[in-house]
């Protein structure tokens, strides 16, 4: 049965239930999900007592496809199955030769191919055979507007919770690097382990990661969306004195994404909240509240002008026609032009 349509969550649950496929070909541009599934398989396929004789982990640059297939064809010793893992498989030459194993895989073997930063040619036979006999999973990059949902899901797995605002603050500060993000979430989980609370709050984030609950890019976006000049300037002043944790490029990215999405809202015929949230790929109402305010504050013409101003500010920050203006002054000037 073809299983290529399984999501990461479905594959993860099946592994935890000890429901294994004979082949896992984990490919794509986002390394986090590939490495997490690989680790889950290493943790779950074999017991500790079975690993010495039945677990083989090799690297693509240090082996060849024929050695991998020979290892996969072996029978397990004193165990129900064996595990063969190929890490950095992108470096493995003659990958198409794997078709000879995939067409008749050893059912007592779980073969895991960790193929990060690349994908197989879907038009060739190997992809179809892997999907038919095992699991062909493509790990795609997550867009920034999906990161809050990832954060919430990640914490739910660990029986922790977080409010939407806090998830957005973490997104704006940490970006889309899921490995970095998961490490910081684990730190917060450890910080909660000695507490009766299971909820991550802005105060906890400020204490352990250093992101101010009141002075951050999420709050700057909200202030500008509401044309709250005083609040925006207070945040920019805070950024001036805490520039290491609040680089200009992050603020510009947040504002550019916001006003680009606002332009979509202006030109969408159906302006219902549900339709606009769908068009922007937003899952939570808190993510849309700033757009509701900004649509009343900035018309389409002004929004287009703002996007141009953000691009100009970005160019100046990179030294174009700007030999000396500091970043905080550039951001203050930009905020003024946006809100006036």
Domain segments of the chain: what residues? 8-139, 144-208, 217-339
Question: Taking 60 as the threshold, does the pLDDT of residue 306 lie above it?
Answer: yes
- Is the pLDDT score of 1 beyond 80? no
Residue range 206-235: average pLDDT? Answer: 93
DSSP assignment of 166-216 equals HHHHHHHHHTT-HHHHHHHHHHHHHHHTTSS--EE-HHHHHHHT---SSSS
> Tell me, what's the pLDDT at 321?
85
Q: What is the pTM of this model?
A: 0.77
Q: Is the pLDDT of residue 173 over 70?
A: yes
How far is residue 262's CA from residue 282's CA, in Å, rounded to a whole number? 13
Residue 22 has pLDDT above 90, yes or no: yes
pLDDT at 197 over 90: no
User: Over 50: is that where the pLDDT of 266 sits?
Assistant: yes
> For 324-335, how does the pLDDT look when each residue is reduced to its tens digit (9 = 90+)?
889 999 999 999
Q: What is the mean pLDDT of residues 99-116?
A: 96
Per-residue pLDDT, 157: 87
pLDDT at position 77 is 94
- Report the candidate in 286, 318, 96 with the shortest Cα–Cα distance to residue 202: 286
Q: What is the pLDDT of residue 278?
A: 92
- Over residues 123-133, the mean pLDDT reads 92
Q: Residue 6 — pLDDT band, cuts 50, 70, 90? A: confident
Residue 259 pLDDT grade (very low, low, confident, very high; cuts 50, 70, 90)? very high
| pLDDT tier for residue 211 given thresholds of 50, 70 and 90 | confident
**CA 196 to mean position of chain CA atoms:** 29
Taking 90 as the threshold, does the pLDDT of residue 245 lie above it?
no
Mean pLDDT for the stretch of residues 177-191? 91
Q: Give the rounded percent of residues in the chain with a pLDDT score beyond 70.
A: 99
Q: What is the mean pLDDT of residues 30-47?
A: 96
Q: Quick one: what percent of the chain has pLDDT higher than 90?
A: 75
How far from chain centre, in Å, is Cα 204? 22
The pLDDT assigned to 280 comes to: 92
Task: Name the architecture of domain 144-208.
Answer: Orthogonal Bundle (1.10)
pLDDT at 62 over 80: yes
What is the structure's pLDDT at 285?
84
- Identical fold for domains 8-139 and 144-208, yes or no, is no
Look at 276 and 172; give whichever has higher pLDDT. Answer: 276
The chain-wide mean pLDDT, for the chain, equals: 92
Q: Within 10 A of 109 (CB to CB), how many other CB atoms are there?
A: 23
Place 312 in a pLDDT band, splitting at 50, 70 and 90. very high
Task: Give the pLDDT mean for 43-62.
Answer: 94
pLDDT (mean) for 91-98:
94
> What strand order describes the sheet that includes 23-28?
55-59, 82-87, 109-116, 23-28, 135-139
DSSP string, 291-311: HHHHHHHS-HHHHHHHHHHHH
* pLDDT reported for residue 4: 44
Class of domain 217-339: mainly alpha
Q: Does position 3 have pLDDT exceeding 70, yes or no?
A: no
Helix (H), strand (E) at residue 85:
strand 82-87
What is the CATH code of the structural domain delimited by 8-139? 3.40.50.300
């Amino acid at each position: 049965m073809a299983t290529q349509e399984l999501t990461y969550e479905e594959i993860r649950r099946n592994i935890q239930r000890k429901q294994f496929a004979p082949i896992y070909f984990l490919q794509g541009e986002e390394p986090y999900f590939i490495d997490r599934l690989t680790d889950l398989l290493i943790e779950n396929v074999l017991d500790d007592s079975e690993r010495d004789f039945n677990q083989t982990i090799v690297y693509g640059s240090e082996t060849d496809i024929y050695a991998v297939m020979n290892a996969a064809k072996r029978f397990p010793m004193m165990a129900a199955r064996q595990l063969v893992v190929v890490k950095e498989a992108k470096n493995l030459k003659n990958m198409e030769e794997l078709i000879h194993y995939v067409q008749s895989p050893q059912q007592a073997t779980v073969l895991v191919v960790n193929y990060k930063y690349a994908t197989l040619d879907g038009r060739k036979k190997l992809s179809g055979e892997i999907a038919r006999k095992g699991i062909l999973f493509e790990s795609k990059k997550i867009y920034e507007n999906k990161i809050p949902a990832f954060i919430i899901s990640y914490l739910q797995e660990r029986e922790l919770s977080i409010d939407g605002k806090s998830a957005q603050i973490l997104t704006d500060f940490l970006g889309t690097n899921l490995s970095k993000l998961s490490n910081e979430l684990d730190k917060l989980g450890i910080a909660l382990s000695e507490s009766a609370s299971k909820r991550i709050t802005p105060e906890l984030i400020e204490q352990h990661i250093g992101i101010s609950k009141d002075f951050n890019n999420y709050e700057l976006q909200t202030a500008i969306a509401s044309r709250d000049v005083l609040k925006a300037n207070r945040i920019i002043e805070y950024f001036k004195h805490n520039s290491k944790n609040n680089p200009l490029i992050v603020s510009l990215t947040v504002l550019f994404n916001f006003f680009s999405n606002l332009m979509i809202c202006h030109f969408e015929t159906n302006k219902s909240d549900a339709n606009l949230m769908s068009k922007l790929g937003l899952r939570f109402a808190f993510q849309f509240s700033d757009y509701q305010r900004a649509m009343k504050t900035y018309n389409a013409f002004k929004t287009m002008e703002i996007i141009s101003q953000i691009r100009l500010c970005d160019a100046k920050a990179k030294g174009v026609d700007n030999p000396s203006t500091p970043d905080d002054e550039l951001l203050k000037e930009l905020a003024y032009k946006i809100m006036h």
